[in-house]
Amino acid sequence: MRNNSVTLAITGASGAPYALRLLENLIAQRQQVFLLMSSAARVVFATEEDMQIPASPQAMTEFFCQRFKVSDDQLKVFGKEEWFSPVASGSAAPGRMVVCPCSTGTLSAIAVGASDNLIERAADVVLKERGQLILVPREMPLSTIHLKNMLSLSEMGATIMPAAPGFYHQPQSIDDLVDFVVARILDHLELEQNLVPRWGYGKP
Confirm whether 198 is domain-assigned: no
State yes or no: 131 annotated in a binding site: no
Does 14 carry a binding-site annotation? yes
Q: Is the pLDDT of residue 1 over 60?
A: no
Domain count within the chain? 1
Cis geometry, peptide bond prior to residue 101 (ω within 30 degrees of 0): yes
Is 200 annotated to bind a ligand? Reply is no
Stretch 140-152: mean pLDDT: 98
The predicted model scores a pTM of: 0.95
Q: Residues 60-82: pLDDT tens digits?
A: 999 999 999 999 999 999 999 99
Contact 195, 188 (CB under 8 A): no
Measure the CA–CA gap between 80 and 47, rounded to whole angstroms: 21
Q: What residues make up the domain containing 33? A: 2-188
159 marked among binding-site residues: no
CB 33 within 8 A of CB 67: no
In a domain, 193, yes or no: no
Give a yes or no: residue 180 inside a domain.
Answer: yes
Position 196 in a domain = no
User: Tens digits of per-residue pLDDT, 186-197?
Assistant: 999 999 999 998
Does the annotation place 184 within a ligand binding site? Answer: yes
**What is the CATH number for 34?**
3.40.50.1950
Domain assignment present for residue 112? The answer is yes
β-bridge mates for residue 34, sequence order? 7, 76
Residue 204 has pLDDT above 90, yes or no: no
